[in-house]
């Protein structure tokens, strides 16, 4: 009888210990997952800030220069494409992240062309509104870089937690999967060529 009670107590203690460990691991994974979602929302917020500034920049350029319409049209189209692309932070797949990065990359290229072509217009360069918007865009690009780095840090922390033992055992059972971070676009390791 005593041996049976001792076995029962050991089994119950093991269940309580595993249950407590499982709850702690689950709560830690939930906290890490929410940190990744917050970081992703911050990335989207900074991209939205850039998208909100673009109409002001385009209107300022239109008002100051007899400008190349195709450049403005490409900026407007790229902005529309980039702002239509929304990703749910709970469903960040590599494919969706790639599509998002591609849409944002097209917008960055269009803005770059706009700023380069605007150099041909001395009145535009001297315009305070244009200079202010250009500074705002530069600041926004820096914010986007910081937000993407913060997102990658949150993803790394989450992925480490998901892969560590014993959390890895519970992560698989509870549906926590590794997440993907931002990666550089193909060819971005080469410095762009600037020609005047």
Taking 60 as the threshold, does the pLDDT of residue 6 lie above it? yes
Choice among 34-38, 51-55, 148-152 with the minimum mean pLDDT = 51-55
Sequence-distant (≥ 6) Cβ neighbours of residue 89 within 8 angstroms: 36, 37, 40, 41
Cα 172 to Cα 4, 159, 169, distances in angstroms: 34, 12, 6
pLDDT score at 150: 92
What's the pLDDT tens digit per position in 11-49? 777 777 666 666 777 888 888 888 888 888 888 888 888
Provide the CB-side half-sphere exposure for 82 (13 A, CA).
27
The pLDDT-based confidence of 137 (bands split at 50, 70, 90) is confident
Mean pLDDT in the chain?
76
Taking 70 as the threshold, does the pLDDT of residue 119 lie above it? no
Q: H helices within the chain, ranges in order?
A: 2-64, 69-84, 94-118, 122-126, 128-163, 167-174
Taking 50 as the threshold, does the pLDDT of residue 194 lie above it? no
Residue-wise over 13-35: b if at least 16 C-beta within 10 A, else e? Answer: eeeeeeeeebeebbebbeebbeb
């Amino acid at each position: 009888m005593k041996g049976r009670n001792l076995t029962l107590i050991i089994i119950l203690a093991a269940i309580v210990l595993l249950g407590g460990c499982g709850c702690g691991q689950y709560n830690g994974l939930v906290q890490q997952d929410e940190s990744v979602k917050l970081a992703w929302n911050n990335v989207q917020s900074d991209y939205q800030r850039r998208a909100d500034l673009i109409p002001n920049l385009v209107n300022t350029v239109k008002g100051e220069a007899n400008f190349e319409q195709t450049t403005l049209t490409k900026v407007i189209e790229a902005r529309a494409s980039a702002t239509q692309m929304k990703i749910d932070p709970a469903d960040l797949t590599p494919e969706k992240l790639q599509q998002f990065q591609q849409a944002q990359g097209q917008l960055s290229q269009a803005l770059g062309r706009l700023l380069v072509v605007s150099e041909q217009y001395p009145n535009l360069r001297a315009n305070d509104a244009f200079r202010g918007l250009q500074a705002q865009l530069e600041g926004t690009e820096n914010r986007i870089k910081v937000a993407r780095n913060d997102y990658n840090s949150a993803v790394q922390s989450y992925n480490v937690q998901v892969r560590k033992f014993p959390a890895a055992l519970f992560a698989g059972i509870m549906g926590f999967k590794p997440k993907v971070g931002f990666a550089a676009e193909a060819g971005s390791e080469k410095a762009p060529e600037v020609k005047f």
